[in-house]
Amino acid sequence: VIIVNEVATRDIRVHLKELIKSSGERQNTVAANIGISEGYLSKFLNGKEINFWMVRDIVQYLDSNNETELLRRYCLNGVKKKNYPAALEYCYAKRLFTVVETLIDEQIKRDGKSNIWSDIYTFILRFRLSDGNYEYIEGLKRFRPSCHETKTLLQILEMYASFYNGRYELTLYQIENIKRLIKDISDPFLKLAYAARLEEVSVNIYLKQDNNIYKARESAYSLLEKNLSVNLNMTALYILALSYMNESYSLSYEHYIKCIKLLENFPDREDELIQNKEEIAILQRFWNKEISEEFQVTDFAKALAKQTSLSSFYEHDYYKKYALLFDGIMEESAEKLLLSLYHFSQQRDQFRANLPKIYLIKLGFNFNI
């Protein structure tokens, strides 16, 4: 195995040639296994530009462990006009934001002005932590698509605005329209990446707002199969963990742990790490398991472990729904369970609203009336 530091100092083509040589495979076999012609593989290894999706497939086949670093280097060495949109989308998906900025700077230097792709990704970088606010929505209106691909991307950005503003029915309507647009995109990588953007959003709506567990899992597994970025894999794993919460303790726990292992590689995402550990504490309490010390990461998780009244959390905006749920279960209190159901429903979290509903049914409530 070649370590990343070594990879970072080597030309990508030299590196891949050496891997082919050391593997003992012939170039035509490698190309056939990747699903491209030997001519394209040979062109690339000899310094010619080929389609971005082919480069990614070559790297994934020969050295998947170092994929992000190798393609980061490849993009920084400059990509031709035809590969520019795919390179921008790839680097954004991989959170290589400085590489996106460098690519944009290089495009402006080369052409003397920014093109629409540069303008759109400058906009995306600017609003990546505030999708959906007023300035974002107004900024989107100024863009005029130059081709089918930019039209599709701009509609995806509109979809994010709808999602982050809680307009879930509109979001799902937009997703169906965008799916039709994606079918006509010729670039295989952009087609894959744009589809992943849709699944990143739909996987949340299908589970939490639509309470459609089957569709949520289908989208989550599709996201994992694409394996486009760690970020999207974490979204998929989290949704899978949550989807099994009231069905299978072991499957829910297993997916949470996978998510936590990925999060541990990102020191800047400590809040998400704590949230996932706390959700395991909630899972363990829901299944009447002893709450492991490693998951007692918040005051609420510690209170859950003690199995005493959670009334001190009844006024807390986030915890009250859980506090009322667990006290309602312990006390067999329909009033508290109904309040928990109300608070989950108010937040349009129809999936978690099932948790108090299960116990209300046990107390004799009939929700089919």
Residue by residue, pLDDT tens for the chain (369 residues) are 444 445 555 689 999 999 999 999 899 999 999 999 999 999 999 989 999 999 999 999 999 999 999 999 999 998 999 999 999 999 999 999 999 999 999 999 999 999 999 999 999 999 998 877 899 999 999 999 999 999 999 999 999 999 999 999 999 999 999 999 999 999 999 999 999 999 999 999 999 999 999 999 999 999 999 999 999 999 999 999 999 999 999 999 999 999 999 999 888 889 999 999 999 999 999 999 999 999 999 999 999 999 999 999 999 999 999 999 999 999 999 999 999 999 999 999 999 999 999 999 999 888 764
- Domain end position, chosen among 33, 48, 77: 77
SS3 category, 25 = coil
Q: For position 340, what pLDDT does the model report?
A: 97
Q: For position 10, what pLDDT does the model report?
A: 67
- Domain end position, chosen among 9, 43, 77: 77
* Residue of 102, 85, 165, 175 whose CA lies nearest to 132: 165
CA distance 23 to 28: 13
139 contact partners, CB below 8 Å, separation of at least 6: 123, 127
Q: Are 38 and 31 in contact (CB under 8 A)?
A: yes
Domains held by the chain: number: 2
Q: For position 368, what pLDDT does the model report?
A: 65
Residue 79 has a CB neighbour count (10 Å cut-off) of 21
Q: For position 369, what pLDDT does the model report?
A: 46
The answer to whether residue 339 sits within a structural domain is: yes
CA distance 270 to 319: 19
What's the half-sphere exposure (Cβ side, CA atoms, 13 Å) at 88? 27
Output the six-digit token pair for 99: 């590489």
State how far the alpha carbon of 360 is from the alpha carbons of 35, 146, 153, 334, in Å. 55, 55, 45, 6
The answer to whether residue 155 sits within a structural domain is: no
265 contact partners, CB below 8 Å, separation of at least 6: 230
CA distance 75 to 92: 12
The answer to whether residue 98 sits within a structural domain is: no
The answer to whether residue 150 sits within a structural domain is: no
Range of the domain at 363: 308-369
317 contact partners, CB below 8 Å, separation of at least 6: none
pTM above 0.75?
yes
- Domain end position, chosen among 77, 105, 128: 77
Q: At what angle do helices 168-182 and 148-164 cross, to 10 degrees?
A: 160
Q: For position 6, what pLDDT does the model report?
A: 55
The answer to whether residue 21 sits within a structural domain is: yes
Rounded to the nearest angstrom, the gap between the alpha carbon of residue 16 and the centroid of all alpha carbons in its chain is: 29
Handedness of CA 311, 314, 316, 319 (dihedral sign): positive
Q: Are 90 and 56 in contact (CB under 8 A)?
A: yes
* Residue of 320, 328, 319, 241 whose CA lies nearest to 283: 241
Output the six-digit token pair for 40: 């394209």
Q: For position 3, what pLDDT does the model report?
A: 45
* Residue of 237, 120, 102, 129 whose CA lies nearest to 190: 120
CATH of the domain at 27: 1.10.260
What's the half-sphere exposure (Cβ side, CA atoms, 13 Å) at 85? 23
Ramachandran category for residue 47: left, alpha or beta (phi over 0 → left; psi -120 to 50 → alpha): left
The answer to whether residue 363 sits within a structural domain is: yes
Q: Are 338 and 359 in contact (CB under 8 A)?
A: no
Q: Are 38 and 28 in contact (CB under 8 A)?
A: yes
The answer to whether residue 46 sits within a structural domain is: yes
Q: For position 133, what pLDDT does the model report?
A: 87
Q: List, in sequence order, every beta strand (DSSP E) within 245-339.
A: none
CA distance 274 to 73: 33
Q: Are 347 and 332 in contact (CB under 8 A)?
A: no
What's the half-sphere exposure (Cβ side, CA atoms, 13 Å) at 359? 25
Concatenated DSSP letters of 159-211: HHHHHHTT-HHHHHHHHHHHHHHHTT---HHHHHHHHHHHHHHHHHIIIIIT-
242 contact partners, CB below 8 Å, separation of at least 6: 207, 252, 279, 351
The answer to whether residue 171 sits within a structural domain is: no
